[in-house]
Amino acid sequence: MAGYSGSKDDYLKRLRRIEGQVRGIARMVDEDVYCIDILTQVSAVTKALQAVSLGLVEDHLGHCVVDAARSSQDEGDAKVREAADAIARLVRS
């Protein structure tokens, strides 16, 4: 079971909202809306995706990593490395 299972509906709602925002940005570009207004919307979508990412990281650490660590030292170490790599990718993006 995924660590985010308890929050799956919330994540899906957020992602649908983000999807709508992205479609809105495309429409803005198509309609030649002022650049700064488009950038403002891009910033809002970026922050919304970051919020989803942070929630997923928290769920992963609290569920997947903890369960693996309880299972064995090696599994725990592997999950911690995996989480650290994922966080590094998020920080670079």
Condensed to tens digits (0 to 9), the pLDDT of residues 49-60 reads: 999 999 999 999
Q: Does 12 have pLDDT greater than 80?
A: yes
Domain holding 76: CATH number?
1.20.58.1000
Q: Does 1 have pLDDT greater than 70?
A: no
The whole-model pTM stands at 0.83
Specify the number of domains making up the chain.
1
Q: Alpha-carbon distance 79 to 1, whole Å?
A: 15
pLDDT tens by residue, 36-85: 999 999 999 999 999 999 999 999 999 999 999 999 999 999 999 999 99
Q: Determine the pLDDT at residue 93.
A: 75
Q: Determine the pLDDT at residue 2.
A: 74
Determine the structural domain holding residue 75 and report its residue range: 5-92
3-state class percentages of the chain: helix first, strand second, coil last, to nearest 5 = 90, 0, 10
